[in-house]
Amino acid sequence: MAKYFNESELSYKTLLAGTQQPVVTDVVKITPGEYVLGTLLANDGSGNFAPVASADSALGAVLLQDTTADDKKVLVAYTGEFLISGVICSDKKGPSDALVEAAKSVNIYFRKQSNKEVK
């Protein structure tokens, strides 16, 4: 049976921009490091996920928790709608236009405001 979550209890609720694209989550291995909620990640080819630079054109997931240098497995989202102001790349910048476009091919969408804010 599916597990239901109270939206107000989700630690990554501040990243969500809408519900037209469902959020699909999983626990994955990452390259160890201290990363913040909203870090954009891609598979590094060895089965681990690592942060991407703003100029990259490949994206695989959005980090849904803060990490410490010791964390090896983390919660990520493979799909969903996220506030562009809440995500960050490895170079401490927001995603480039090319990365935003590339993200659409893996069903990750970025919005300037949440659907709840639109009246």
pTM exceeds 0.85: no
Which tokens hold the place of 102?
């590339």
The closest of 63, 56, 58 to 39, measured between CA atoms, is 63
- For residue 92, the model assigns a pLDDT of 93
Residue 8 domain-assigned? no
Residue 15 domain-assigned? no
Rounded CA-CA distance 88/105 in Å is 19
Q: Do residues 95 and 89 touch, judged by C-beta distance below 8 A? A: yes
3-state class of 97 per DSSP? helix
What total of structural domains would you count in the chain? Answer: 1
Q: Do residues 117 and 111 touch, judged by C-beta distance below 8 A? A: no
Instruction: Tell me the CATH number at 88.
Output: 2.40.300.10
84-119 pLDDT per residue, tens: 999 999 999 999 999 999 999 999 999 998 666 544
3-state class of 14 per DSSP? helix
Structural domain for 53, as ranges = 21-108
9-68 pLDDT per residue, tens: 556 778 888 888 899 999 999 988 899 999 999 998 888 999 999 988 889 999 998 888
67-88 pLDDT per residue, tens: 888 888 899 999 999 999 999 9
Q: What is the mean pLDDT of the chain?
A: 85
